[in-house]
């Protein structure tokens, strides 16, 4: 298992279900919280949306990406390999894992993304049963379920710290200085209020 190097947030978890009183789309409050948390984390972050999304919603997502200095990616379930290649080219080397965060309403996309080798994080939709539960003891989960979007920074921290500890134990202790101190990690930024 590798640490989480990049996170792609799907439009289905960022946008409110309905438009506001003016007919304009808006972001969910918990989505704004997560976007702010990821901004200074040193974790690549992007926003994905499908071709079927309306122009005002696409504009809102692109403006949000620009505001937080994120990338925007067009996601087509029929072209998973192209999506994975586009993200890899944009973000560079593949020394870590990429995570795609989607709503559980996107069953078709979830099933196809699992074969990509990415870690899929599914935001449970109210009233929709989950087929697999995430356990922190799972060695190599390909799908993680969360109940609230606010749980995402904690999940990323858990996975990155687990990766760091596993790597630390594999290192030769004879090569470490007596006063070993790890530098700050992206988790430090994600967990600060």
CA 87 to CA 72: how far, in whole Å? 9
CA-based max dimension of the chain: 65
Per-residue pLDDT reduced to its tens digit, 109-152:
777 777 777 888 889 876 555 545 444 444 445 788 899 999 99
The full set of domain ranges for the chain reads 4-169+178-191
Average model confidence (pLDDT) for the chain? Answer: 78
CA 104 to CA 70: how far, in whole Å? 23
Per-residue pLDDT reduced to its tens digit, 153-176:
999 998 888 766 665 545 444 454
* CB-neighbour burial class of residue 99 (10 A; exposed 0-12, middle 13-18, buried 19+): buried
Angle at the Cα of 105 (from 57 to 63), degrees rounded to 5?
20
- What predicted TM-score, i.e. pTM, was given to this entire model? 0.78
Beta carbons of 132 and 145 less than 8 angstroms apart: yes
Superfamily of domain 4-169+178-191: HAD superfamily/HAD-like (3.40.50.1000)
Nearest to 12 by CA among 127, 103, 120, 147: 103
């Amino acid at each position: 298992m590798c640490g989480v190097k990049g996170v792609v947030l799907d439009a289905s978890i960022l946008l409110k279900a309905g438009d506001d009183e003016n007919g304009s789309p808006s972001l969910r409050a918990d989505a704004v919280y997560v976007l702010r948390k990821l901004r200074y984390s040193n974790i690549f972050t992007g926003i994905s949306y499908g071709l079927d999304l309306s122009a005002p919603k696409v504009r809102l997502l692109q403006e949000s990406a620009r505001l937080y200095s994120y990338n925007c990616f067009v996601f087509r379930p029929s072209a998973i390999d192209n999506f994975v290649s586009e993200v890899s080219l944009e973000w560079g080397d593949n020394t870590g894992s990429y995570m795609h965060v989607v709503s559980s309403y996107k069953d078709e996309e979830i099933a196809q993304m699992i074969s990509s080798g990415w870690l899929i994080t599914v935001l449970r939709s109210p009233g929709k049963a989950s087929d697999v539960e995430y356990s922190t003891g799972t060695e190599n989960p390909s799908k993680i379920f969360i109940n609230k979007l606010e749980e995402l920074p904690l999940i990323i921290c858990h996975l990155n710290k687990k990766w760091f500890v596993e790597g630390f134990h594999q290192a030769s202790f004879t090569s470490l200085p007596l006063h070993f101190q790890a530098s700050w990690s992206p988790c430090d930024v994600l967990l600060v209020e």
